Structure 1
Amino acid sequence: MNKRDASRAPRSLPADTAGHLILTRPGPIEDALIRRAEQAGVDYVVLVADPAEALQLHDEGYRVMVGSSDDPATHRAARVDKAALLSATWPDTTNANIIFTAREISADVPVVATANKEASVDVLELAGANEVLRLGLLLGSAMADRTLLPGGRSHLIGRFAGVLIAEARVAGTPLEGRSIADVELRRRLGVTVIGVWDQGVFTIAVPNIELNASSVLILAATQDQLDAYDRCYGTGSELEGSVVIIGAGRVGRAAAQAFAEADIGYKIIEQQPERILDEHYVLGDAADIAVLEAAGIRTATGVLITAHDDDINIYLTIYCRRLQPHLQIVARANLDRNVSTLYRAGADDVLSYASTGAAAVWNHFRGNDTLVVADGLDVFRSTVPVSMRDKTLATSGLREKTGCNLVAIETDGTLVGNPGADVVLTADTGLILIGDDAGQERLANLNDGWRARLRRRMA
C-alpha cells in the first residue's frame, strides 16, 4: 500500500509541458512564488527528492515531481529544456551543483539562484546562473531604506512602462489629517496618488481617504513632478538620531552598511561574541533592558529587528514598542503568515524574507510585465476585460469591480499617465495597474484569457 501510495506522486512531466517554472525545493520562498504563478496562470513544478514528502505535498494540492535536483535525469523529466525559469534556493554549494547539472541538459533555460556569501556569486555565475540574488543583502538594504525613508520626500521604488513609482510618508507633513481630495496633488503637481499603505494594509486611493501619521503614499509621476512634490512636502534630513539593529547576521550587517553609507549612527546588538567586530556592536541579549539601553534605545529614532526566528521578532517588537511608543520599528518576518502579527505587535514596517526572495525571482521572470512594490502589491500590465471594452474609464467600473487602480494606459506604443475619466477603453488599450493579490485575482476572473489558461491547466 505504501508503494502504491508513493507512486501517485509524479516522476515526470508530460512531454508537451513548456513555459513552466522549475522550483528545486519546497520552502517559504517557493510558496510565495507558487502563489504568484497560480495567479498569473503560469505552470510550475516543485522537485522533491523524498517520495513520502512529495506525496504529502501532492495531496495538499502542490504540483510536485519526485526527483533529486542534482540528478540530470530529474531535469530531463522536468522538461528543463522547455522551462521558462529554474530557481535554486539551496545553500550555495548545493546551488552550484544544481545549476551545473541543469546546464548539462539545457544551455538556454534562465536560472536564478540565491547566494549567502559574496564569494559564491562568481562561482554560481560560472556554474551557469543568469542571476544571483543575495537575499540577506536585499532584505537588509530594504529594511534600512524603510528607516531612512526621507521625511516627507518621495522615495523611488522603481520604474514601470515609463512611469516612476515612488512612496512618501505623511507623518510631519501638511498632508497629515487631510483627505486625498483636499490636497489635490494631481491638479497642483501632476502627481497621482495610486494607493495608501497604513500599518501593512494597502488601500486603493479614493478621494475620501483621510491621511494620518502612519500613512505612506504610493505615487505615480514623472521625475519633474516628484521634484515638485518634494519641494512642497520635504521636511528635512533623512533621519535624525541613531538606529539600533537587533541581530548581526547577514540582514543586520547589510542594514548597518546602508546606515554607514548614509552617515547615520547605529549600534548592533548581538549575542554571539565571535560576531562582535568594533565599537558599533553591543554584546548581549536584546530582551535585556540594560543591553537595549547600552545600545541607545532611549534616544534612538528607529530600531531594526532582524532575527531568524519570528517568535523572537514578535517578542522584541512588543517590547520595543512598549519601551518607546514613538520609535520607528522595522521588523523582519521569515514566514509570510507572521507579517500581520508583527504589525499588530507594533511594527511600523514589516518585510518578509520569503516575499523579498519571491519578488526578486518573479521580477527577473516577469520584469517587463510586473513591478513588485511591496509584499502582495504589484504594478502590472493587463488587457482590458471584454466586459469593460468600448466603455469610458468612469463607466467601466474598473476600480470598483477589481480593487485595482489605473496608473496609465498604453495605445499604439504611446503611454498616457493619469488618464481622464472620459478615456475610452478598447481591445487595443493596454492597462498599467496597481493592485494587491485579491485585486489581481478579481481582475483575472474578469479576463477571458485567464479562463482559457485555467482550462488548459485543468485539461
Structure 2
Amino acid sequence: MVKNIRKSILLYLTVIAIIISLYSSIFLFLMFKEGQHIPAQMVNVDPVTAVYWVIATMTTVGYGDVYFIEETGRIFSVIAAISGVIFLFGLLFPLVLTPWLDARVKSLLPTRVPSKLSDHLIICGYSPMVESLIEELKHQKTSFVVVERDETIVKDLFEKGILCIHGDPSDKDTLDGANIRTANCLITNESDEMDANTILTAREMSDLRIIAILEDLSKRGYLEYAGASDVIAPKSILGSFIGRKAVDPTVSHLVGATEFLKDIEIIEFPIYPESELIGKSLKDAEIRKRTGCNIIGIWAGGEFSLNPRPAEVVKSNSILLAVGTEAQLLKLKKLVQLRRFWNMAMEREECLVVVGYGDVGKSIVDELKRARVKFVVVDRNEDALLDKGFDYVVGDGSNEEILIKAGVASAATIIIALNVDTDAIFATLVARTLNPDAIILTRANAPICNKIYRAGADYVASVSIVVGQMVAKLAVTEHKEDVVILYEGIEIEKYHVRKGSPFAGKTLEELDIRSNVGCTVIGIEKEGRTVTDIHGKIIVEEDSILAIIGSKDQIRRFEECENMRSKSPEIIMIDKIGEIFR
C-alpha cells in the first residue's frame, strides 16, 4: 500500500514537472511573438517569470501582473487554467491525497495485540453474530481479539474498547499480530471463500482449534478439508431447531428438554389455544400439585418474567419455563397443549404451514418429514419445490391471497422462514391477522426480535443470537449438543458448595438468595439424590450442588457474594431463541 502511494506521488510530480516545463516553453514563445521581450515594453520573457505565470494560472491564483495581449496567448491562458484545475482537483486528491490520508488513518489503527495475550480466541470478521458472541465471551471472562479488514469497523470497535486489529485474516503477518501461536481457538466469520483462505493460513501457522461459520451448506467439505476443526451452519441449526419445536405437539415425548441435575430437566412449553390452563392463575392451576413440576418463568407478549407470582395468569400463546423429572414434565405437556394436538401423534392432522424454502426452510422441512407430519410449503421458487414429496404453494410468502391458499387461516402452527427480515415481519403481520390463535415461529437474520414479537410472533429465532451463543459455548467447552430455544439473558449455573463455604449449614430461608441477588435455587443435588421441591427450610449441606437460575447480572452478583464456583462448573446458557450447551 505504502509503495503504491509513493509510486503515485512520484508519477504525479513527474507529470506536473513535465507540464510546467512544456507550458513555460509555450509561454516564452508566445511572449516573444507578442514582442513583450522588447526593452521599451513589458519585460516578461525569462524562465523565472514563465514558471511563475504557469503555476499562478494552473492554480487559478492569477495575480494579473503578467498577461497576454493577443488572442492566441489568452486562449493558451484558458487552457492552462482548465488543465490546472483538472490536475489539481481531478487527479491530486483521488490519486495522491486521499490514498495518503487513508494510509495515515490505517497506520494509526492497531495491527498487533499485546505480546502477553495468550489462551485467547481470535475472531476473524465482524458481524451481528460476532456482536452477540462478544457479549457472551465478556460474560465468560474469555479473552479475545477481533481481526477485521474494514478500517471503519476497526475504528468503531476500538472506540468501544473492544480489542481488535486491522488486517487481512488470511495474511500471516495479521495472524501473527493476533498472537495465533498462543491462542486457544480461531473463529472464521467471513465468506466461505475467504474463510477457506484464512483456515489454510492459520493451519500452516498453528494446530489450534478452528471453528468455521458456514454460509453455503454445499461447501462444508471444503472448509473441513482446509483444516477447520468444527464447521457450523447457522441456518441449518436454526431450521432444525424450529422444525423440532413445530413437531413438539405431534409427539408424545419431550422435545428440547435439557437435564441440568440428575434426572431433572428444564424445558419450555407453549400454551396452545383451548388449553385448560388458559385464564387461570398459577395458584389456581395447581401445576405443582397436579404434575410435580415447578414453573420458574413465563414468556408472554414479548416479555419474560422470571419467578412469576402465584397470581400470574396463564394466557394463550404464552410460554411456560418448567423444571421437573421427565414423567412430571410429560404430565404438564398434556395440560398446556390442546388435546387434539396431543392425539396428533396418531392422527397426523395437517396443521403446519412453512413460509420460505431456503436453507432454514429446508432444515425445517427435514424435521417435519422425520416426524411424518403433514405440512404445506410456500415459496417463490417452483423449481426448488418440484418432486419433493410434499404439498406446496408457489408465490410471495407475504401475500395474503397466497397465505390463504396455503391454509394459514386454519393452521395450528405457522413457520415464517423468509430470508429478508422486512418480508418476515410483514408475513408475520399477515399471518397473525388471518389466524389470531395460531402459534407463529419466525426466523430473523438481525437481532430485531422485539419488532417481530410486536408483529405477532410467538417465537423469534435470530440467526445472529443463535450462532453467537453456540460459538461462545463451543469455543470454550468443545461440546456441542442439541439446540433448545429459551430466553435471552437468562442462565442456569451449577455451583459446588465446598467445605467451609458460608452457605453450608444454612437454610435457604436464612440465605434469602432471591432477595439478596435476584437468583433462584431451582434444584439441589447431594450424593446422587436430587431435590426440586425447593422451600425455605431446606438446609444447604457441604459438598452439595446448587442449580441457580437468573439473569447475567444476577449470576454475577451471586458469584461476588459467594466465591464457591468450581474451576470447571457446568454452565447452561439460556437465551431467547438461543441454545443450551452442556
- Normalised by the shorter chain, which TM-score bucket? 0.7 to 0.9
Query: Contact 1:111–1:131 (CA<8 Å) still a contact in 2?
Result: yes
Question: 1:352-371 counterparts in 2 under 5 A?
Answer: 352-367=462-477
| Partner SS state of residue 409, structure 2 | coil
Deviation at 1:92, TM superposition (A): 2.7
Matched residues in 2 for 1:430 and 1:7: separation?
52
2:160 to 43, 46, 60: 60
1:284 to 384, 395, 404: 395
Report how many aligned residue pairs link the two structures. Answer: 448
The equivalent of 1:394 in structure 2 is 509
Deviation at 1:31, TM superposition (A): 0.5
Distance 1:225 1:311, change over 3 A: same
The equivalent of 1:145 in structure 2 is 244
Structure 1 residue ranges without an equivalent (≥5): 451-459
Deviation at 1:437, TM superposition (A): 4.1
2:255 to 133, 149, 155: 155
Distance 1:417 1:333, change over 3 A: same
Question: 1:215-364 counterparts in 2 under 5 A?
Answer: 215-230=318-333, 235=339, 236-238=342-344, 240-278=349-387, 280-336=391-447, 338-364=448-474
Matched residues in 2 for 1:214 and 1:323: separation?
16
Matched residues in 2 for 1:220 and 1:308: separation?
34
Structure 2 residue ranges without an equivalent (≥5): 1-100, 566-582
Deviates more, 1:110-119 or 1:417-426: 417-426
Deviation at 1:223, TM superposition (A): 2.7
Query: Contact 2:399–2:427 (CA<8 Å) still a contact in 1?
Result: no
Deviates more, 1:23-32 or 1:56-65: 56-65
Distance 1:352 1:191, change over 3 A: same
> Within the alignment, does 1:94 sit opposite 2:194 as a pair?
yes
Query: Contact 1:154–1:167 (CA<8 Å) still a contact in 2?
Result: no
The equivalent of 1:191 in structure 2 is 293
Query: Contact 1:244–1:304 (CA<8 Å) still a contact in 2?
Result: yes
Q: Which structure has the bigger radius of gyration?
A: 2
Question: 1:17-28 counterparts in 2 under 5 A?
Answer: 17-28=117-128
| Partner SS state of residue 111, structure 1 | strand
Query: Contact 2:421–2:445 (CA<8 Å) still a contact in 1?
Result: yes
Distance 1:372 1:269, change over 3 A: closer
Matched residues in 1 for 2:528 and 2:219: separation?
41
Matched residues in 2 for 1:80 and 1:444: separation?
32
Query: Contact 1:204–1:405 (CA<8 Å) still a contact in 2?
Result: no
Question: 1:4-43 counterparts in 2 under 5 A?
Answer: 5-43=105-143
Query: Contact 1:49–1:68 (CA<8 Å) still a contact in 2?
Result: yes
Note the aligned Cα RMSD (angstroms).
Answer: 3.4
- 1:175-227 residue CA offsets vs partner (Å, 9 max, x unmatched): 33333344444455443323222244222234513322223222222334334
Instruction: Work out which structure has the larger RCO, using CA pairs closer than 8 Å and 6 or more positions apart in sequence.
Output: 1
1:201 to 285, 292, 303: 303
Matched residues in 1 for 2:349 and 2:555: separation?
39
Matched residues in 2 for 1:58 and 1:247: separation?
39
Matched residues in 1 for 2:331 and 2:219: separation?
43
Fraction of identical pairs, as percent: 26
| Partner SS state of residue 195, structure 1 | strand
> Within the alignment, does 1:435 sit opposite 2:547 as a pair?
no
The equivalent of 1:374 in structure 2 is 486
Query: Contact 2:298–2:305 (CA<8 Å) still a contact in 1?
Result: yes
1:128 to 227, 241, 249: 227
Deviates more, 1:364-373 or 1:283-292: 364-373
Matched residues in 2 for 1:112 and 1:248: separation?
27
Matched residues in 2 for 1:375 and 1:26: separation?
24
Matched residues in 1 for 2:557 and 2:386: separation?
51
Matched residues in 1 for 2:526 and 2:166: separation?
46
The equivalent of 1:173 in structure 2 is 275
Query: Contact 2:449–2:462 (CA<8 Å) still a contact in 1?
Result: yes
Deviates more, 1:369-378 or 1:253-262: 369-378
Distance 1:304 1:227, change over 3 A: closer
Question: Letter of the aligned partner of 2:361 in structure 1?
Answer: G
State the TM-score, normalized to the length of structure 1. Answer: 0.85
Query: Contact 1:356–1:375 (CA<8 Å) still a contact in 2?
Result: no
Query: Contact 2:524–2:532 (CA<8 Å) still a contact in 1?
Result: yes
Distance 1:126 1:71, change over 3 A: same
| Partner SS state of residue 245, structure 1 | strand
> Within the alignment, does 1:212 sit opposite 2:315 as a pair?
yes
Deviation at 1:30, TM superposition (A): 0.5
Deviation at 1:400, TM superposition (A): 3.1
The equivalent of 1:454 in structure 2 is none
Distance 1:421 1:369, change over 3 A: farther
- 1:283-315 residue CA offsets vs partner (Å, 9 max, x unmatched): 222233322222222332222111222222111
Distance 1:314 1:445, change over 3 A: farther
Question: Letter of the aligned partner of 1:21 in structure 2?
Answer: L
Matched residues in 1 for 2:163 and 2:562: separation?
24
Deviation at 1:81, TM superposition (A): 3.3
- 1:133-160 residue CA offsets vs partner (Å, 9 max, x unmatched): 2221211122223322327974333233
Deviation at 1:381, TM superposition (A): 3.3
Deviation at 1:122, TM superposition (A): 3.1
Distance 1:89 1:145, change over 3 A: same
- 1:330-357 residue CA offsets vs partner (Å, 9 max, x unmatched): 1112111x10111111111111111111
Deviation at 1:251, TM superposition (A): 0.6
Query: Contact 1:70–1:101 (CA<8 Å) still a contact in 2?
Result: yes
Question: Letter of the aligned partner of 1:19 in structure 2?
Answer: D
Distance 1:96 1:380, change over 3 A: farther
Matched residues in 1 for 2:463 and 2:552: separation?
18
- 1:253-293 residue CA offsets vs partner (Å, 9 max, x unmatched): 11122222222222222223443424633222223332222
State the TM-score, normalized to the length of structure 2. Answer: 0.68
Question: Letter of the aligned partner of 1:257 in structure 2?
Answer: D
Deviates more, 1:201-210 or 1:247-256: 201-210
Question: Letter of the aligned partner of 2:463 in structure 1?
Answer: Y
